[in-house]
Amino acid sequence: MLVIYGDRKGSDYMGAWVQSVRPELKAVGVKIIQAANLKSVPGFMEGFVKRKFLGKTANGQPSAPVILDWNGQIASVYGFRDSVTNVYLIDAHGILRFSASGKGSLEEARPLAEAINALALAGNTAARP
């Protein structure tokens, strides 16, 4: 499983990470989970922010599900860098195998692609629940 996690600014780079490792993701069948770090959202804005995640895509389809992390729990467990996307590759046994943060350039994503391939070669794909 690949958890792609970001705050308001970091969410801008989520797509770049996925695009950079798309061939590996497809080959191995890694499940992608998007998560939003909402710890800095003031309480009075929570309803407004929650509705933003319930929207639809441009073609009317429901938006992809996103874990709303109101307390920053994912950040406290795996670490977090503000204003960029954070990625965590978790194997079939729930063990963190790789983590990185950045804007998802090909150079930044290369080690993630290698980690995905290594899991596949070990027979421990991250696609299993």
Looking at domain 2-121, what is its CATH homologous superfamily? Glutaredoxin (3.40.30.10)
Q: Residue 73, Cβ neighbours under 10 Å: how many?
A: 13
Q: Residue 129's closest CA among 33, 34, 23?
A: 33
Give pLDDT, residue 127: 45
Dihedral (CA of 30, 17, 107, 69) sign: negative
To the nearest 10°, report the CA torsion of 119, 121, 123, 129.
30
Report the percent of the chain where pLDDT is more than 90: 74
Structural domain spans, the chain: 2-121
Q: Calculate the average pLDDT of the chain.
A: 90
For the cut 80, the answer to whether the pLDDT of residue 42 exceeds it is yes
d(CA 124, CA 122): 5
Please report which confidence band the pLDDT of residue 60 belongs to, taking 50, 70 and 90 as the band edges.
Answer: confident
Task: Tell me phi and psi for residue 31, to 5 degrees.
Answer: -80, 135
The model's confidence at residue 117, banded by pLDDT at 50, 70 and 90, is: very high
Handedness of CA 118, 123, 124, 127 (dihedral sign): positive
pLDDT at position 126: 47
pLDDT bin (cut points 50, 70, 90) of residue 107 is very high
